[in-house]
Structure 1
Amino acid sequence: MIGSPTGAGASTEKTGPLAGLKVIEMAGLGPVPLAALMLSEMGAGVLRIERADAGQPLLSLPEEYDLDRHGRSVLKLDLKRPTGAELVLRLAAGADLLVEGFRPGVMERLGLGPDIMLQRNPALIYGRLTGFGQDGPLSGRAGHDITYLAYAGLLHAIGRRDAPPVPPLNLVADQGGGAMMLIAGLLAALFQRARTGKGQVIDASMIEGASMLAAPIHAYMAAGLWSDGRGENLLDSGAPFYDTYETADARHIAVGCLEPRFFAEFARLLPLDEHFVGGQHDRSLWPAMRAAIAGRIKQKTRDEWAALFAATDACVAPVLSLVEARHHPHNRARQSFVKSGRLERPAPTPRFSQSPQTLAATPATADRDMLTRFGLSEEEIGTLAKTGVLGR
């Protein structure tokens, strides 16, 4: 069950399995903000530090839609001033986790590298996420999801046989290989710290994270069960029983009946000639099988096919748009999408039976209560405000 939006202000008591955990997020783009959002919705108190001199982001969103900032208390600092950097060090001394996604060396140049922070707080877990890792020939290079997938060999594998590779949004390297692997590392380090009392540095790389997601594919290749060519395999549109097909109304259904019994059910309801069922994995039959499936599916609309297969295990689904997905009966029954003001977004996940999460709402300016939770005294807070170190 998801709690009601609470504004995520500094004084709000949050629920979730990470309630009481204190996290510093060094503001940036891409997967680190998603990781911080998820940590916040799992109950952590997240203090997002934004540079007072930062320029406009690539995509500037109104605050009510900006999930890169929801669920946090936000503190704007001039990190070029020694007092600004020193304040981050003071805050980190009272934190459990720090996460940052800058290029290697940026935090060190600011005087905020892991060596000095772990000296002050040996229990701190310092999470670093980059595209290429903290070292290596490409470590200083800029990149995006498509860049990292290209170097990981995965972009080559995504798409159809006779077409260029297709960028899978920014879901694989940024969010899957980046944010999710960073969270896995943070939680593993927390578990180890519970036994040893010691923090550590996590070096998460989006290339390596995306590659790990594809570990089974590498295993299939080594066993001779997967071709290095695009669009020639079971899961990459090579197999006619694992692909999308256009319907009579120019929409699509997704067919994913890999297992023989699921394929037999699909063939029965389509219907498909019986000889295809016995020769499901006979690649010489695949061109004719694909043509037969495509021709049949063209005879009904997407929703007609969805209704026909709805109560079966044929693994056929309507290809929904992002808007349609929010209103599908299953997703509505599960409350898989929730509203926060005018924003409708995916609900916090995963779900916990003993510790419900709190839906992150619009950010709050870090107040005295939040700063004292990170170890600052009332006197220090007052002095920093008077000298202008604390941004507005």
Structure 2
Amino acid sequence: MGPLNGMRIIELAGIGPTPFAGMMLSDLGAEVVRVDRVGGSGSPVGSQSGPMERGKRTVAVDLKQPEGVEAVLRLVEASDGLFEGFRAGVAERLGVGPEACLARNPALVYGRMTGWGQTGPLAERAGHDINYISLAGPLAHIGRAGQTPTVPLNLIGDFGGGSVFLVLGMMAALLEVARGGDGQVVDAAMVDGAAYLLSPLYAAHAGGFWTDERGANFLDSGAYFYEVYGTADGRWLAVGAIEPQFHAEFMAGIGLATADDLPEQMDRSRWPEMKERVGAAIASRTLDEWMAVFDGTDACVSPVLSMGETPDHPHAQARDSFFDACGVRQPRPAPRFGGTPSVPAVESRPPGADTDAVLEELGYSAAEMDALRSTGVVA
């Protein structure tokens, strides 16, 4: 099931953003074959039964042996795409770089996901999400006025700037092949993707609407109407009442709409004062009480929920947004397709579980497979 049904994509096992991209492709219907290292998974922190491993077949191959490289290249011949998350140059040294793979399959889409990209002075340097988003710009603008930049979850660089852009690029390249074009390399650098995500704010910055001062703009906690406030029971209420009509509903709900000394909504000089007044009002009631006040309104108010709470919210329940598999409650695939719905596989396979089946599909005989196992090339 899914719009990519019938396509085979090879995932050279890695950590974080790499298996996430593979999960997306699998959820979209592709057959994802993960190439693991002999002796274990490619992810030292990942679960073998979590969301990012679901629905994938897996072969365990030693890429440091020529016979292992040959096995992967034979798999390339029978696949539509391959992606890897090694540092620049590593795949080439292993013998499974773009040149070698495209020589065996000119229609292959070869996806490369790194932090710094394949070129530039940092291309071969180590890094993590925090480094990519610090250089790309987002980190400088996350946090409150006068405080250290806030370290966010690794969603912006690793998954938003990396995995999602890799999958988008590979889909575009696969469409080009389907139209009669050649295979190609897709270079998805997290530093590029994280900067690209800032495009709307670059426009606002150029026009003077957005400043470099952290926590002073209307989407970065500078505005009283786009903020998180504490409630009487120690919970948190998120407010995003930007547009005038939504702002009016919000102010009415907290009892400040009739105050005769309210400033204009966009009077930045009085935002700090209004934060105190709004904060005091919201602190007077519990979260449940506020949700009852704003029920059915367009005040753009919502509870701040944890991962342990979100699946049980009525909206998530109504949309059937989560499911349980392998003992893990996990989000359903997004987006949703009307004609070719994504149906996530519930099974996660341990590393190497499908080695024999995949090798047999590639034409290896039983004797050849026995020889590869005996020398540790596959497991």
Q: Given the alignment, which residue of 197, 202, 207 partners 1:213?
A: 197
Q: Distance in 1 between matches of 2:102 and 2:56?
A: 24
Q: Cα gap change, 1:350/1:169 in structure 2, threshold over 3 Å: closer, same or farther? A: same
| 1:44 aligns to 2:44 (yes or no) | no
The answer to whether the 8 A contact 2:59-2:358 is kept is no
TM-score where L is the length of structure 1: 0.91
What residue is the counterpart of 1:33 in the other structure? 19
What residue is the counterpart of 1:22 in the other structure? 8
Please give the per-residue CA displacement for 1:220-265, whole angstroms capped at 9, x wherever unaligned: 0001100011101010000110000000011110010000110011
The answer to whether the 8 A contact 2:65-2:377 is kept is no
Q: Distance in 1 between matches of 2:261 and 2:310?
A: 32
Q: Distance in 2 between matches of 1:382 and 1:308?
A: 72
SS of aligned partner of 1:24: strand
SS of aligned partner of 1:307: helix
What residue is the counterpart of 1:386 in the other structure? 371
Q: Given the alignment, which residue of 331, 336, 341 partners 1:356?
A: 341
Q: Given the alignment, which residue of 282, 301, 309 partners 1:324?
A: 309
Q: Distance in 2 between matches of 1:129 and 1:52?
A: 22
Residue type of the alignment partner of 1:49: V
Residue type of the alignment partner of 1:104: A
What residue is the counterpart of 1:181 in the other structure? 165
Q: Distance in 2 between matches of 1:161 and 1:270?
A: 25
Q: Count residues with an aligned counterpart.
A: 373
What residue is the counterpart of 2:118 in the other structure? 134
Q: Cα gap change, 1:348/1:51 in structure 2, threshold over 3 Å: closer, same or farther? A: same
The answer to whether the 8 A contact 1:267-1:277 is kept is no
SS of aligned partner of 1:255: strand
Moved more, 160-169 or 20-29: 160-169
The structural deviation recorded for 1:68 is: 3.5
The answer to whether the 8 A contact 1:16-1:41 is kept is yes
The answer to whether the 8 A contact 2:13-2:41 is kept is no
Moved more, 149-158 or 99-108: 149-158
Unaligned runs of 5+ in 1: 1-14
What residue is the counterpart of 1:229 in the other structure? 213
Alignment of 1:22-171 (within 5 A): 22-52=8-38, 57-59=43-45, 61=47, 63-64=48-49, 66-171=50-155
Please give the per-residue CA displacement for 1:44-71, whole angstroms capped at 9, x wherever unaligned: 111100111568844253x33x333221
Q: Distance in 2 between matches of 1:133 and 1:299?
A: 50
Q: Distance in 2 between matches of 1:150 and 1:138?
A: 14
Higher relative contact order (CA 8 A, sep 6+): 1
Q: Cα gap change, 1:114/1:276 in structure 2, threshold over 3 Å: closer, same or farther? A: farther
Please give the per-residue CA displacement for 1:316-353, whole angstroms capped at 9, x wherever unaligned: 00111111101000101101111113211011111111
The answer to whether the 8 A contact 2:225-2:240 is kept is yes
| 1:272 aligns to 2:256 (yes or no) | yes
SS of aligned partner of 2:245: helix
The structural deviation recorded for 1:120 is: 1.2
Alignment of 1:187-198 (within 5 A): 187-198=171-182
TM-score where L is the length of structure 2: 0.94
Q: Cα gap change, 1:283/1:58 in structure 2, threshold over 3 Å: closer, same or farther? A: same
Residue type of the alignment partner of 2:201: I
Residue type of the alignment partner of 2:286: T
**Could you tell me the percent identity over the aligned residues?**
46
State the Cα RMSD in Å: 1.7
